[in-house]
Copies of this chain bind each other. A is one copy, B any other.
């Protein structure tokens, strides 16, 4: 963790400016009939989970260029996640990936307590072969043509639930790479039947208070078809399995031009929105930092979420899922967590009574202007003040850099070389 003196020193330089900005924004919002303190209170309660794998440097099939001080294991990763939460106060939980993070539950719990974090959804991995694995996932996992391979994937998922139950997790997220690279390689229908049958076996072991989140993705690693290719198929899965099965939406897993906020609305309407993987993308599943490419799209997603907040049963899980290839992962995750908070704060500012009136009278121009009024508001002072009041940093990146955390951990954590893809 970072020495609190460092944070306080950094905050001391910025606090006057923040207070001036916060006061000005408060006065402005007051003129719009909005109580800044109420918004700040909601923002302060908001949190988004960090994926454990996100604190390592990402890569592409062509290359990976590691940074210094790469975490060696889940305990290093939890240290890094702890720093992110310490500075942003916005990331109270971590989502584990098994088998990468498989360690005794007691050790995980103890480390989590040490760094002030809890555990979010468990993630299984049947898209890679592990050294000790009997059956290969080269041609699929839960939907493989071979029953023994499917069974192996089922058991792995059940093991994830069992570990999760010991560390306070309440959800399992299943993403599979199953699909095909050639027309005809698989029979779409039989493949999906096998997937449903295997996934039902996992579902049947789920504790009562758990949720099974299935994740759709248009393509990659399969390049002709993917077994859970879109929200339509994802919805069918959730319908077939039962009430504890819900859909997870990763913002980067859709076809070009798709209206994602509308998918969020549809899944919400039919009780099947289970959670998010936040990130941003310009081309495919680019896994870029959340809000870095199209911040208005992120806002429109949160507009749907705030719209649905009044329903007490509506409680989707929020997680970041990004690949940090050219930045310090800790910095990217801090900035991304703040972007998610920002979109939430902006959506909270929307005058929903006015919006509904414009919608009912088909005043398209004023309806969209009403949304824009929320989006355009610079809510940074609200986010910063919420952080400050919770003991975090006014400017987390500046405080982090001042702390020299990366340099310090680099002394303990050995340098690693990039895995050359050898693939074009």
Residues of B within 8 A of A31 (CB): 17, 20-21
Q: Is A382 an interface residue (CB 8 A)?
A: no
CB contacts under 8 Å to B, within A82-128, are 97, 100, 127-128
Asked whether, in the complex, the Cβ of B129 is within 8 Å of the Cβ of A223, the reply is no
Closest CB of chain B to A236's CB: distance in Å? 7
- Which of A36-44, A197-205, A257-265 contacts its partner? A257-265
Residue of A266, A270, A378, A422 most packed against chain B (CB within 10 A)? A422
- Asked if A185 and B63 make an inter-chain contact with CB atoms under 8 angstroms apart, the answer reads no
User: A183, A268, A397 — which one has the most chain B CB atoms within 10 A of its CB?
Assistant: A183
Q: Please tell me if the beta carbons of A59 and B255 are within 8 angstroms of each other in the complex.
A: no
Q: Is A162 among interface residues, defined by CB-CB distance under 8 A?
A: no
Q: A368: CB under 8 A from chain B? A: yes
What 1/0 flags go to A233-271 for Cβ under 8 Å of B? Answer: 101100000000000000000111111011101101110
Copies of this polypeptide in the complex = 4
Is A220 part of the binding interface, using a Cβ–Cβ cutoff of 8 Å? Answer: yes
Alpha-carbon distance between A370 and B292 when the two chains are bound, in angstroms: 12
Which of A152-160, A206-214, A322-330 lies at the interface? A322-330
Q: Cβ of B61 and Cβ of A60 under 8 Å apart?
A: yes
Kindly state whether residue A15 has any CB partner on chain B within 8 Å: no
When C-beta atoms are compared, the residue in chain B nearest to A424 turns out to be B53
Is the Cβ of A229 less than 8 Å from the Cβ of B262? yes
Among A59, A65, A262, A360, chain B packs the most CB atoms within 10 A around the CB of A262
- The proximity string for A residues 168-184 relative to B, scoring 1 for CB distances below 8 Å and 0 otherwise, is 00000001010011111
A65 touches B27 (CB 8 A): no
A278 at the interface (CB under 8 A from B): no
Interface residue A130 (Cβ < 8 Å from any Cβ of B): yes
A76 within 8 Å of B by Cβ? Answer: no
A223 CB contacts on chain B under 8 angstroms: 281-283, 286-288
A290 at the interface (CB under 8 A from B): no
Chain B residue numbers with a CB within 8 Å of A326 are 138-139, 180-182, 185, 362, 364
Contacts A184-B303, A184-B367, A232-B266 supplied; 17 other A-B pairs, CB < 8 Å: A17-B31, A65-B129, A145-B362, A181-B327, A183-B292, A183-B293, A185-B368, A187-B359, A189-B265, A189-B268, A218-B257, A220-B284, A223-B286, A225-B259, A256-B257, A327-B365, A365-B397
Q: Footprint of B on A, CB under 8 Å?
A: 17, 20-21, 24, 27-28, 31, 51, 53, 56, 58-65, 97, 100, 127-131, 136-139, 145, 175, 177, 180-190, 192-193, 218-221, 223-225, 229-233, 235-236, 254-259, 261-263, 265-266, 268-270, 281-284, 286-289, 292-297, 300, 303-304, 307, 321, 323, 325-328, 331-332, 335, 355-356, 358-362, 364-372, 375-378, 380, 397, 417-424
